[in-house]
Amino acid sequence: MLLNGSTFTSVHDVANLSALIEEGLRVKAAPLAWSNIGRHKTLGLIFFNPSLRTRLSSQRAAWNLGMNTLVVNVGTESWKIEMRDGVVMDGETVEHIKEGAAVIGAYTDILGVRAFATLTDKHADIGENVLSKVQQYACKPLVSLESALRHPLQSFADILTIEEVRREQRMKHRPKVVLTWAPHPKALPQAVANSFAEWMLRADVDLVITHPEGYALDEAFTQGAYITQCQDEALECADFVYAKNWSAFQGNDYGKVLLYDTSWTITAEKMRRTRNGKFMHCLPTRRNVEVADDVLDSSASLVIRQAENRVVAMQTVLKCILENL
Amino acid sequence: MLLNGSTFTSVHDVANLSALIEEGLRVKAAPLAWSNIGRHKTLGLIFFNPSLRTRLSSQRAAWNLGMNTLVVNVGTESWKIEMRDGVVMDGETVEHIKEGAAVIGAYTDILGVRAFATLTDKHADIGENVLSKVQQYACKPLVSLESALRHPLQSFADILTIEEVRREQRMKHRPKVVLTWAPHPKALPQAVANSFAEWMLRADVDLVITHPEGYALDEAFTQGAYITQCQDEALECADFVYAKNWSAFQGNDYGKVLLYDTSWTITAEKMRRTRNGKFMHCLPTRRNVEVADDVLDSSASLVIRQAENRVVAMQTVLKCILENL
Amino acid sequence: MLLNGSTFTSVHDVANLSALIEEGLRVKAAPLAWSNIGRHKTLGLIFFNPSLRTRLSSQRAAWNLGMNTLVVNVGTESWKIEMRDGVVMDGETVEHIKEGAAVIGAYTDILGVRAFATLTDKHADIGENVLSKVQQYACKPLVSLESALRHPLQSFADILTIEEVRREQRMKHRPKVVLTWAPHPKALPQAVANSFAEWMLRADVDLVITHPEGYALDEAFTQGAYITQCQDEALECADFVYAKNWSAFQGNDYGKVLLYDTSWTITAEKMRRTRNGKFMHCLPTRRNVEVADDVLDSSASLVIRQAENRVVAMQTVLKCILENL
């Protein structure tokens, strides 16, 4: 059993992380070796927010296992969903999540759900309001496609990427992995950063997090990491540099952009501080804002490989769930 | 032959209703028993109006039979379609229904079409303007996914649900089925109510319809039902209570909301008048407007089972059509 | 080898046109004869512009070969893509084409791309800005689903249609094919006209092009055709009349509507000048603007057959590419 149950919403659902990574590498080596395991099964993909990589990689992963995929873009294709309990629905919402989730659950065998943080209602975000309601009412195995707090498929793809590079480079030492805040013109969720920290802290690496003042992440995700506000210090001798923007988490600044400081942009110049370090980003990325062209276009960049490994991550998770259906 | 031909747009296309119901129950018992019958065949699904249950259940039904599905959301994904004949197309419409339907017909083996009532052009609605044009020009077997006047797949799913419950409860008497108008903030078509009445009047049940003054449905659908404006009377000893809003049909009030009276909302209190009656609704439903939480969240509610049976209804219809292709 | 490589973006990618046509007719005769050749392979379909025929025919073609299809509607479903190099992405664009194309490439085996002319940036259009960037960064076999300058799948479907009619009618003479400009209320690209000219000039036909003053196409596509501004002269004894609107190409008029003159509309009256000529159009068409009802609704119209042959054209191209993967 690689997962604790038939849910994949955080690293806490993983029973054995190193075994899951090995399974991922096996899946990557032979993506069509289990092409009948999902035959006549349907993966539902519910997007409360837009997606590119996630939808495409999930569909490809499902097809590699013989599954069909049902895509629902809530709000654009469908109608507005009511999330509150006990409300008199005489306004704009047309269907309650209780029925919506139950019905989609009835038509599918496994559900994937994307529901970003609102960045305005911290209480709802911390409670994973949408994800937990879908899970409660759909009554089907659930895979998070990024929730308010986490993006576990991305983190799984990231750890697979790090593991691949480590083996290819025959890296003998415990890798130094740096998660660095990067500037961005818009307010973004903390999910990718939270999740990356949470996974790295369970992996065989040293995690350093660096961000400007005011950008501390929730300690629930970062406890155990070395945290510094000096990016240069963090980058020193790094093997992997993971750049990501997030908006403020702490206190009343929740969801706000406190700073737009391009001295935090990752450049080739900065990468020279690392130990021939590799650059990582979950994509999409703002070129020359989060990271300079000269990094993304160099051989140090792992971003496309990370994206490729999204198929592997999803396929491995689906395979685990299908084997226990 | 369970259908009269290769069209499913109303109960009049059903050759033998009780045999069709039996076939539906067989399909539900073994959904994958005909999983090659539709191999290399394509179901086209054309939506002139939004959909959730209908698209998803149709895709699942098609896949269970080995078919592929092509989804077209007219107006959102595609361009505006001209419906009028002889017009000089120098305005906003980009393609005529004659070409649009013929082309989609050419790419598919069976077509499903959703085209709601306009509620403003009664003549067009009664003539099933869009559905009939698609049928005329596409030249392919046609399944209605809800037209201006009817929603036959919903009614077939409803009758399957009633039949299942009747058997499970070993109901010996002829069931009393009540179709009750319910309040709603917006103007809705009569299609679900029309269709439900039409199907129930051919089934082995007693149908009672209740609605406020001014909400009489077209007699073409309701003739033979007992109709009362007293909801309490209607609910007395009911076995099944089917709630649905519809806008006015008669005369100049066509398509209007005449009343928003929540004394018509179905509550647990009202359900106590019934003979341990079951609650039904086609969904989506406005909670605490059409029906109270205490009904929807009780074991009396059949709404999710009705939604599940939408797959069964579509699959049974597709199977019948495929067997005669 | 019917194609020169694994790209299909113009007639110049065709190694042997008459052999490709023969292959197309073989595919049409037995569309399911190669239904496993694309098994476990994925066709990505990227639309920077809307589509009806192209998406549907591509999906059907792919399924006939056992492929899966991933559809991406850039801009509506996804986010805005940056096309410029070296730019600081602090504005509205969320992802650079470098990453976007590489990622979609990573999830697919063959890519289809639709990217219309802007009609405002002639330099970008002539350079096939979007198509060439996708090709450069996706690193996968590429099929044009209509680019700024060409619509090769349409032209291949058109030539298949002409060849079919020629054989059915046992036409012994070299057919006279007329490409005529037709009026339209909006500014349209030249791609269909360019492409049709380019293909016809390599086929065993006589091509005549007719258009009003100011509407000359790029000579790169039309050199070798007889060009006249007298539509009546062009139609004389024509075997095939292909109507299409395009906006001005030459000089500063690029992308403009210079004329809205319905004396250029193809009518039954005009078709009487032809040698019992057939009418062709790529669709969608504006009825009674580009062509009159009495032509489209007559047996002379080949437009639906052209649309059907879009499946054949795409399937033949995909089959060629799959055989060389």
Q: Do A64 and C96 touch (CB under 8 A)?
A: no
Collect all residues with Cβ–Cβ distance below 8 Å to A127 and sequence separation of at least 6.
none
State the Cα–Cα distance between residues A236 and A277, nearest whole angstrom. 10
To the nearest whole angstrom, how far is the Cα of A114 from the nearest Cα of chain C? 14
Instruction: Compute the average pLDDT of residues A23-37.
Output: 98
Candidates C70, C86, C87; nearest CB to A59: C70
The band of B77, judged by pLDDT with boundaries at 50, 70 and 90, is low
Q: What is the ipTM of this complex?
A: 0.95
Nearest Cα to Cα of residue B283 among C212, C202, A79: A79
Give me chain B's average pLDDT, please. Answer: 97
The band of C75, judged by pLDDT with boundaries at 50, 70 and 90, is low
Candidates C42, C68, C88; nearest CB to A289: C88
To the nearest whole angstrom, how far is the Cα of A54 from the nearest Cα of chain C? 11
| Domain spanning C7-150+310-323: CATH superfamily | Aspartate/ornithine carbamoyltransferase (3.40.50.1370)
Torsion angles phi and psi, residue B302, rounded to 5: -105, 10
Helix (H) or strand (E) holding C91: none
First to last CA, chain A: 13
pLDDT tens across C118-163, in order? 999 999 999 999 999 999 999 999 999 999 999 999 999 999 999 9
Domain ranges of chain C: 7-150+310-323, 154-307
Residue of chain C nearest A290, judged by CA positions: C89
Residue of chain B nearest A106, judged by CA positions: B308
The CA radius of gyration of chain C, in Å to the nearest whole number, is: 20
Candidates A77, A79, A88; nearest CB to B73: A77
Chain B contact set for C261 (CB, 8 A): none
Collect all residues with Cβ–Cβ distance below 8 Å to B239 and sequence separation of at least 6.
B171, B175, B176, B177, B274, B275, B277, B278
β-bridge mates for residue C192, sequence order: none
Q: What angle do CA C61, C54, C79 make, to 5 degrees?
A: 115
The band of C79, judged by pLDDT with boundaries at 50, 70 and 90, is confident
Residue of chain B nearest A98, judged by CA positions: B297
Q: What angle do CA B71, B76, B80 make, to 5 degrees?
A: 100
Chain C contact set for B136 (CB, 8 A): none
Chain C contact set for A70 (CB, 8 A): none
To the nearest whole angstrom, how far is the Cα of A70 from the nearest Cα of chain B? 7
The residue ranges of DSSP E strands in B201-276, in sequence order, are: 206-210, 226-228, 240-244
Candidates B40, B96, B108; nearest CB to C35: B40
Amino acid at B301: S
Q: What angle do CA B155, B157, B163 make, to 5 degrees?
A: 100
pLDDT tens across B123-175, in order? 999 999 999 999 999 999 999 999 999 999 999 999 999 999 999 999 999 99
Residue of chain C nearest B105, judged by CA positions: C308
State the Cα–Cα distance between residues B190 and C75, nearest whole angstrom. 36
Is residue A171 predicted with pLDDT exceeding 70? yes
To the nearest whole angstrom, how far is the Cα of B288 from the nearest Cα of chain C? 33
**CA count, 13 A, side-chain hemisphere, B318:** 37
Residue of chain B nearest A100, judged by CA positions: B284
The band of C1, judged by pLDDT with boundaries at 50, 70 and 90, is confident
First to last CA, chain B: 13
Chain C contact set for A45 (CB, 8 A): none
Neighbours of chain B (3+ CB pairs under 8 A): A, C
Residue A270's Cβ-count burial label (10 Å; 0-12, 13-18, 19+) is buried
Residue of chain A nearest C106, judged by CA positions: A308
Residue with tokens 């092009």: C209
Tell me how far the alpha carbon of residue A174 is from its chain's centroid. Answer: 23
| pLDDT confidence of residue C78 | 64
To the nearest whole angstrom, how far is the Cα of A187 from the nearest Cα of chain B? 29
The DSSP-derived string for A205-246 is SEEEEE--TT-PPPHHHHBTBEEES-HHHHHTT-SEEEEE--
- In A, what residues contact C, Cβ < 8 A? 32, 35, 50-53, 56-57, 59-60, 63-64, 73, 76, 185, 283-289, 293, 296-297, 303-304, 307-308, 311
State the Cα–Cα distance between residues A43 and B222, nearest whole angstrom. 41
Is the domain covering B154-307 a CATH 3.90.1660.10 domain? no
Alpha helices in B189-260 (DSSP H): 191-200, 219-222, 231-235
Is residue B75 predicted with pLDDT exceeding 80? no
Is the model's pTM score more than 0.90?
yes
- In A, what residues contact B, Cβ < 8 A? 40, 42, 44, 68, 70, 72, 76-79, 82, 85-91, 94-96, 98-100, 102-104, 106-108
How far CA C270 is from CA of B264, C158, C233, in Å, comes to 64, 21, 11
The CA radius of gyration of chain A, in Å to the nearest whole number, is: 20
Candidates A53, A76, A185; nearest CB to C103: A53
State the Cα–Cα distance between residues A319 and A308, nearest whole angstrom. 17
Amino acid at C195: S
Is residue A75 predicted with pLDDT exceeding 90? no
Tokens representing residue B153 in the block: 């797949």
Is residue C228 predicted with pLDDT exceeding 90? yes
Collect all residues with Cβ–Cβ distance below 8 Å to A188 and sequence separation of at least 6.
A245, A246, A247
| pLDDT confidence of residue C58 | 98
How far CA C193 is from CA of B181, C152, C232, in Å, comes to 57, 10, 19
Q: Do C288 and B87 touch (CB under 8 A)?
A: yes
Chain B contact set for A44 (CB, 8 A): 56
State the Cα–Cα distance between residues C312 and C156, nearest whole angstrom. 9
To the nearest whole angstrom, how far is the Cα of A28 from the nearest Cα of chain B? 27
The band of A66, judged by pLDDT with boundaries at 50, 70 and 90, is very high
Instruction: Compute the average pLDDT of residues B227-244.
Output: 98
| pLDDT confidence of residue B258 | 97
pLDDT tens across A192-205, in order? 999 999 999 999 99
Is residue B79 predicted with pLDDT exceeding 80? no
pLDDT tens across B24-72, in order? 999 999 999 999 999 999 999 999 998 889 999 999 999 999 999 999 9
| pLDDT confidence of residue A58 | 98
Q: Which of C286, C294, C297 to mutate to test the interface with B (most CBs of B within 10 A)?
A: C286
| pLDDT confidence of residue A79 | 77
Tokens representing residue B176 in the block: 């009393």
Torsion angles phi and psi, residue A198, rounded to 5: -60, -40
The CA radius of gyration of chain B, in Å to the nearest whole number, is: 20
Give me chain C's average pLDDT, please. Answer: 97
Q: Do B308 and A82 touch (CB under 8 A)?
A: no
Alpha helices in chain B (DSSP H): 17-29, 53-64, 97-107, 122-126, 129-138, 152-168, 191-200, 219-222, 231-235, 268-271, 293-296, 303-323
Q: Say if residues A129 and A148 touch (Cβ distance below 8 Å).
A: yes
Note the CATH number of domain A7-150+309-323.
3.40.50.1370
Tokens representing residue B263 in the block: 């004394």
- In B, what residues contact A, Cβ < 8 A? 32, 35, 50-53, 56-57, 59-60, 63-64, 73, 76, 185, 283-289, 293, 296-297, 303-304, 307-308, 311
